[in-house]
Chains A and B, each alone.
Chain A
């Protein structure tokens, strides 16, 4: 277990180094990057230039001392970068958490039904649908859902809000406010759930198909166990393991979906912040967000690896 944590740490170390050195390795004027298309106070520019003239290693050590330095300001919003990130974390967690939970439940259910009777009608229908969902750009699905269900098209009236996390003037701390947030949550969450469940369903199906070939299931049937019980008590719990691991490992993919979907629905989370940072480009903000996402994914991968050892005694050496 120690070696896994060590590897995660090394990966993180490389992320920090990459983050720092990439923007300084460029030819041309780094001040230009920072101040692109913006009127910068000339004194600030002189300060920045003096700081950047220090030897690279000294700058790196300063950075390392506190990568979460609260004095690093976003160049676009003139506020501390990590403060902005802190504000936007909860909406993203709400959106992604709900989406992953629903997508797991539905995806696994579909995968089980399809995988238990491969080649059957349900399998063919669901595999076709999931393949199509898998080929879809998630933001396009979001835009289409917006047009149909929010603006109203093809005869369907618009019933959902066009974006944001709550309607203006609504107090989100009370139960009525929560309902309002929930109403806003429906469309972006649906978009993400549809995209994520495709992946989970395909993996669960493949995993169950592999599991069905195992000999211990033949024994269970020979004992007289009903098909449903064979499935529920034996096959599924074992086939579930790779799927659950994959759900953790696919956090990278989840993050990608979050960025574009939050943009389409103006959901005020980290994804939308990334899009806004892109517009500048706001380099300090982008660096911080990259670091944030990488940490989240590295930690999730670590948890997946550790959980796998816990649940599958066969891999313990």
Chain B
């Protein structure tokens, strides 16, 4: 419940941001605050190294972080579910190949792989979405494959095959609707992971340098020396936003897991 409320607040902020906040808030040349000012009445969260209001930057960041999060999750879920169902359904060499690919992506450490891909593709928001999507689908695939295997063992699928159902029909009409609740629960958890990934990659400078996503804000804070100045108002808020959103998605995801599959409840 708490999770849903938190999410509602953030999503509302993301949607309303362009209406409530003038574009000038992001523009470095129009910044009129002092540098690294602490929180005050006119700048509730203080200013950054160029004098922009951190509160407004943060609100804009909500849009970017959530957009990247959801977009990358869609890619990850589509890939993961497709691979998972296919790997669980087919037998023989094809299945081994699919499982092999999934395992490879699971073993390789996320950040080095993401760094390599992002460097090669170049710094932009779209590339970031692609990179995160490519590096995150494997966990979902493994889960969906296990679920597919258990579904395939059920009698009605045998009956359907005996009646002449083709592969595509079986997978889309029988397996998919049955794995769907699990997919939904897993999606919510994946968004949490994806947002953390996006924050990390943006912090390392691999995203669009203009976009004030929360990770990018932390990157700017770090590079401009906010830490050595003790400018906690620059560092604390973006991080808290990330923690709240990730926590919210995690709580909602775990609740959904408990509904979908009570045996897995942790």
Contact = CB atoms under 8 A, between A and B. Distances in A.
A136 B228 contact: no
Interface residues of B, number: 44
Nearest to A147: B232
B222 A264 contact: yes
Given A11-B104, A143-B218, A151-B227, A137 B112 contact: no
A162 B222 CA distance: 12
B250 A144 contact: no
Contacts of B117: 22
A278 to B, nearest CB: 6
Interface in A249-300: 251-253, 255-256, 259-260, 263-264, 274-275, 278-279, 281, 283, 286-287, 289-290, 293-294, 297-298
Interface string B187-200: 00000100010011
Would you call the interface of chain B mostly helix, strand, loop, or mixed?
Answer: helix
B172 interface: no
Contacts, number: 136
B8 interface: no
Contact of A290 (B104, B116, B204): B116
Contact of B242 (A137, A148, A255, A263): A137
A146 interface: yes
A132 B247 contact: yes
Interface in B30-74: none
Contacts of B232: 144, 147-148, 153-154
Given A131-B247, A136-B239, A290-B116, A278 B206 contact: yes
B221 interface: yes
B222 to A, nearest CB: 7
21 contacts: A14-B104, A22-B120, A131-B250, A135-B242, A135-B247, A136-B243, A139-B203, A139-B218, A144-B235, A151-B228, A162-B228, A206-B266, A251-B109, A259-B112, A259-B204, A260-B204, A275-B204, A278-B119, A278-B205, A278-B206, A297-B107
Interface of A: 7, 10-11, 14-15, 19, 22-23, 26, 131-132, 134-137, 139-141, 143-144, 146-148, 151-154, 162, 202, 206, 209, 251-253, 255-256, 259-260, 263-264, 274-275, 278-279, 281, 283, 286-287, 289-290, 293-294, 297-298, 301
A-B pairs with the 3 shortest C-beta distances?
A: A140-B239, A252-B109, A135-B246
Interface of B: 100, 103-104, 107-113, 115-117, 119-120, 192, 196, 199-200, 203-206, 215, 218, 221-222, 227-232, 235-236, 238-239, 242-243, 246-247, 250-251, 266
